[in-house]
Amino acid sequence: MQFTLAAVVACLAASVSAVPSSIAAKRTAPSVTLSLINDQSGRNAAATIVADGGANYISSLFHGSAVDDMTANHDILATSAQLIAFPQGIECTLDLGATAFHFDDQATFVRLVQNINDPLNLSGAVFSCFV
């Protein structure tokens, strides 16, 4: 009985001690701030993500922001995008499905459309970054 209890306590202690290290690993991932600009309306908004390589949906990041058109569809409309806070060595992608835009610590700005009077709907886009 004592051996079983000792084994259970040891297993619990090992699993509990593993949790903080995984939380600490998430905290050490740097953050990146993306700004979307709509030159047609003059509006812009920024959102910050953790640069852990995970998918971040533009529709969630910018819902209710200045670049949300506030219609029933909540289209996220922009003419350009820019990294405004980022660590050295960052690599980011704004993936629209058929097209992808790439950012890094040297190329921080992307014009999304040729005609600023025709903003692009980014509602289905995914933004991800890693160092």
pLDDT at 28: 82
The yes-or-no verdict on residue 62 having pLDDT over 50 is yes
Cα–Cα distances (Å) from 65 to 18, 55, 86, in that order, read 38, 19, 21
pLDDT at 103: 97
Tens digits of residue pLDDT in 19-48: 454 454 456 889 999 999 999 999 999 999
The answer to whether residues 2 and 44 touch, using CB atoms and an 8 Å cutoff, is no
How many Cβ atoms sit within 10 Å of the Cβ of residue 51?
20
Q: Where are the domains of the chain?
A: 31-130
Class level of CATH domain 31-130: mainly beta
pLDDT at 2: 52
Six-digit token string for 88: 């050295």
How many Cβ atoms sit within 10 Å of the Cβ of residue 19?
9
Mean pLDDT of the chain: 86
Averaged over 99-124, what is the pLDDT?
96
pLDDT at 115: 95
CA distance 58 to 60: 5
Averaged over 79-93, what is the pLDDT?
97
CA distance 97 to 84: 24
Confidence of residue 8 (pLDDT cuts 50, 70, 90): very low
Q: What are phi and psi of 20, to 5 degrees?
A: -60, -35
CA distance 105 to 129: 11
Q: What residue type is 130 in one-letter code?
A: F
pLDDT at 23: 52
